[in-house]
């Protein structure tokens, strides 16, 4: 019960910030053109358009989709693209996490599709009701799990993994073990350090633990929530940078250094994001290390 109340409170705070955040997004650069790229065999990923990257896998008699983009119209663009590669219906949608740019396109998909997510992702989507970026409440996940879920969907082996709260409280990665491909969502997107939403239960320590879990997977291609494909080497380098930066902040906090002074020791970081108003990595770490109680 307490966890649900905390999530609801976080979204209530987020709602108060959403008008300013929406304006900030509107003033940002336009999204890049939508495109579809083949990774291997029947595995594809899309980038561009409104929302994060998506993925789709053509199975024996159905299509599996990862994430739904930000708007119904953007989702319909994905559907039209899929139709060029497969005559089969979409049977399953897997959600990497609850952010609006990954789930708010769900209502552009046909009703009745099975939606799979980590259990905290569903709670966050439920708690978003009434906010400016509310997830579509008639498209909530119909199947959830805690840590691990192994499935065979339309003849495709799929492994879903969640370690601890990281980018949000309900992240998952989708592993295709036979293809050596991992869809990592925003856990592996292109940011300077690690991108975490504290109001949604995210944690920089959790991000580090989750990235170590991702790096232990036997795979060579990692699909990010935003930006280009990643390799294990690029992810290892990013993990090393995150751990070094977090340790440096820890040392400076212990020495009594102020947040403003600590920020001066880092390059430009991610701006507040959307209705979640998440600060940059340095401030998130500082909040974690100085939190009372």
Residue 165 in tokens: 């709260």
Confidence category of residue 32, pLDDT binned at 50, 70, 90: confident
Does residue 277 or residue 194 have the better pLDDT? 194
CB 63 within 8 A of CB 154: yes
At residue 273, does pLDDT exceed 60?
Answer: no
Confidence category of residue 193, pLDDT binned at 50, 70, 90: confident
Does residue 276 or residue 66 have the better pLDDT? 66
pTM (2 decimals)? Answer: 0.89
Task: Give the percent of the chain with pLDDT over 90.
Answer: 78
At residue 277, does pLDDT exceed 50?
Answer: yes
Confidence category of residue 272, pLDDT binned at 50, 70, 90: low
Looking at residue 29, its pLDDT comes to 54
The pLDDT of 196-225, averaged and rounded, is: 96
CB 106 within 8 A of CB 139: yes
- CATH number of the 2-290 domain: 3.60.15.10
At residue 24, does pLDDT exceed 60?
Answer: no
Give the pLDDT confidence of 112-154 residue by residue, as tens digits.
999 999 999 999 999 999 998 899 999 999 999 999 999 999 9
The pLDDT of 68-84, averaged and rounded, is: 97
At residue 6, does pLDDT exceed 60?
Answer: no
CB 199 within 8 A of CB 276: yes
């Amino acid at each position: 019960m307490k966890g649900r109340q905390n999530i609801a409170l976080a979204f209530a705070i987020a709602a108060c910030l959403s008008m300013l955040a929406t304006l900030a997004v509107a003033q940002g650069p336009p999204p890049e053109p939508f495109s579809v790229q083949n990774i291997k065999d029947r595995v594809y990923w899309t980038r561009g358009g409104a929302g994060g990257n998506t993925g789709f896998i053509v199975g024996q008699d159905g299509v599996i989709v990862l994430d739904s983009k930000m708007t119904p119209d953007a989702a319909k663009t994905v559907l039209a693209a899929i139709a060029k590669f497969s005559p089969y219906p979409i049977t399953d949608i897997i959600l990497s996490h609850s952010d609006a740019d990954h789930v708010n396109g769900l209502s552009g998909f046909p009703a009745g599709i099975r939606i799979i997510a980590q259990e905290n992702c569903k709670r966050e989507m439920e708690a978003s009701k009434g906010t400016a970026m509310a997830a579509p409440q008639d498209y909530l996940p119909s199947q959830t799990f805690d840590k691990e879920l192994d499935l065979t969907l339309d003849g495709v082996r799929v492994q879903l993994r969640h370690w601890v709260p990281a980018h949000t409280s309900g992240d998952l990665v989708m592993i295709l073990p036979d293809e050596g491909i991992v869809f990592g969502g925003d856990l592996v997107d292109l940011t300077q350090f690690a991108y975490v939403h504290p109001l949604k239960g995210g944690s920089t320590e959790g991000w580090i633990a989750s990235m170590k879990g991702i790096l232990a997977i036997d795979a060579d291609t990692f699909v990010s929530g935003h930006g280009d494909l990643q390799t294990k080497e690029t992810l290892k380098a990013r993990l090393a940078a995150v751990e070094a930066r977090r340790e440096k902040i820890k040392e400076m906090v212990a020495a009594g250094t102020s947040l403003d002074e600590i920020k001066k020791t880092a390059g430009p970081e991610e701006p507040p994001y959307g209705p979640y108003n998440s600060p940059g990595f340095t401030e998130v770490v500082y909040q974690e290390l100085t939190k009372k109680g």
